[in-house]
Chain A
Amino acid sequence: ERNNLAGVQHIVLVLSGKGGVGKSTISTELALSLRHSGKKVGILDVDLCGPTIPRVFRVQDNDVHQCDSGWVPVFVDQDKTISLMSIGFLLEKPDDAVVWRGPKKNALIKQFVADVAWGDLDFLIVDTPPGTSDEHISTVEALRPYKPLGAILVTTPQAVSVGDVRRELTFCRKTGLHVLGIVENMSGFVCPHCSECTNIFSKGGGEELARHSGVPFLGCVPLDPQLSQSLEEGRDFIQEFPKSSAFPALAHIAQQVLDSASQRSS
């Protein structure tokens, strides 16, 4: 029986209970960092209502083709170091709303997990929508036989976000998904004019949650307009802005993922 995930070494899910905390951003930057470490990476975007990934890699107008083993993922460059799959590629018009109820979403997610011909990948990163519902249940169920490395949970520092991410931790526990750690995103803003740091979305909530829940804390990523700009323009932030304030944190997260992966392989 065809197993399109047979060549994938490690699967990492990026989750949050909360919307808008930077799951897609972290998924993207993690993929770029891993690529810079010489890894072959795939990103599976299972956010069916708000698919972000195609646009941040500037391939939103690409079509998806079929081959004997299933769907061919979209490569972002000639070197084929990063490949993507997202419902974004299947939409005729980008402004078309995908207004589907659960069962239809579940069917597509099963296909995305089983029918994409990823080939050989070091890492498959799965970017998810916010919540603990159909997409999450279906994705975890479909991925279970392939034993994912684990999940990264993203939060912003304030209590309102942390409150939702606590529930996501419960989801991970109940579904048997290993938690690689928590990222506290948008953690402080350094004014480019005067270097004053303002905690726009508060500070410390993610770190506190990690401590309280006994899961690893992967680090704080500050707000960085250069990062937002790079995502908007489909640029490789890791390559172009190594001196920016967010770079060290993002590189550190990638290193911890690499460490977890080597620990498991050995």
Chain B
Amino acid sequence: DCPGTSSARAGSAAACQGCPNQSLCAAGAAGPDPAELAELRERLRSVKHTVLVLSGKGGVGKSTFSALLARGLAADEAKQVALLDIDICGPSIPKMMGLEGEQVHQSGSGWSPVYVEENLGVMSVGFLLSSPDDAVIWRGPKKNGLIKQFLRDVDWGEVDYLIIDTPPGTSDEHLSIVQYLSATHVDGAVIITTPQEVSLQDVRKEINFCHKVRLPVIGVVENMSGFVCPKCKNESQIFPPTTGGAEKMCQNLNVPLLGKVPLDPQIGKSCDKGQSFLSEVPESPATLSYKNVIQRIQEYCDQHQFQEEKII
């Protein structure tokens, strides 16, 4: 019988032989203890939907997408949206949300998120650093500790959507967030890629990771999918889909392709200025693509009931 993923024998018990999770259990230290999970469950009880934004690959647009997803969902003023940035080494979210230089305040009920709008709160290690040159040079255990604090100590309040932006890879941050979130209901993961094989080969690993940890995959977004020259209007494939792009990969792995977003120089500019690309350039084809993807994610969340009791 399975000794349990948090057990000290996880991965090494006789019953673990042949289990698809075996190497995962054996690779990690024992997971969070049940008391910690109970504490997190209590804190996250007020969160209705949780979406992780992942990629195996760096620089494909996770933070860009997370920021726009949060803003898109918060356009409905009746919804309360939270954006949590767990990229400890390279926190991009504060800049993208126009919140550079903001600091975190403590109150009796915990850390206060930094609010962009009344209904959109943000948390990132970026707010804990005093200078843009400050580097967070931490090994895994310390990063895990901060991620746990973000989940346990931030007073998010009643939240309709918690969006979690992650760093690239399949390591401490990803293992930890999945383990800590086992205390609550996670709707699923949105995986970001660019069209070329160099990205897809990492993304397949990420999808493999999601299957291993039983994280549902809401779907894949293919970013930087073509560029239309503003002068001659011809399209160029700057990041060529030499192996069929995300479309082929999604077919092969049987995961939904949520959409393809073209390159638009205004996206980078808006991010640098901390503005919403969706509001700044509403007529861009990229805006339309993003909005369609956001809608599909919203529909997915609405279809899945929030499970109050989750049996661990």
Contact = CB atoms under 8 A, between A and B. Distances in A.
Contacts of A55: 197-198, 201
B268 A201 contact: yes
Contacts of B265: 198-202
Contacts of A192: 236
Contacts of B140: 101-103, 133-134
Contacts of B59: 18-21, 130, 156, 161
Interface stretch (B44-52, B104-112, B167-175, B276-284): B167-175
Interface size class on chain A is 35 or more
Contact of B132 (A50, A156, A166): A166
Nearest to A55: B201
Contact of A97 (B136, B205, B237, B269): B205
B238 interface: yes
Nearest to B272: A159
A196 interface: yes
B29 A160 contact: no
Contact of B240 (A24, A169, A193, A228): A228
Interface string A150-177: 0000001011110110111111001000
A65 B132 CA distance: 45
A47 to B, nearest CB: 8
Interface string A1-42: 000000000000000011111001000000000000000000
Interface residues of B, number: 67
B208 A98 contact: no
Interface in B235-260: 236-240, 242-243
B287 interface: no
B57 interface: yes
A56 B201 CA distance: 12
Nearest to A56: B198
A188 to B, nearest CB: 10
A223 B89 contact: no
Nearest to B174: A99
Highest count of chain A CB atoms <10 Å: which of B143, B201, B232, B242 = B201
B229 A170 contact: no
B230 interface: yes
B18 to A, nearest CB: 16
B57 A97 contact: no
Interface in A203-226: 223, 225
A233 interface: yes
Nearest to B92: A160
A190 to B, nearest CB: 10
B234 interface: yes
Contacts of B216: none
A56 B12 CA distance: 36
Interface string B260-304: 000101001101100000000000000000000000000000000
Given A163-B95, A202-B268, A95 B238 contact: no
Nearest to B64: A160
Contacts of A49: 56, 168-171, 202, 205
Interface of B: 23-24, 27-29, 56-60, 63, 88-90, 92, 95-96, 132-141, 143, 167-172, 174-175, 194, 196-198, 201-202, 204-206, 208-209, 212, 227, 229-232, 234, 236-240, 242-243, 263, 265, 268-269, 271-272
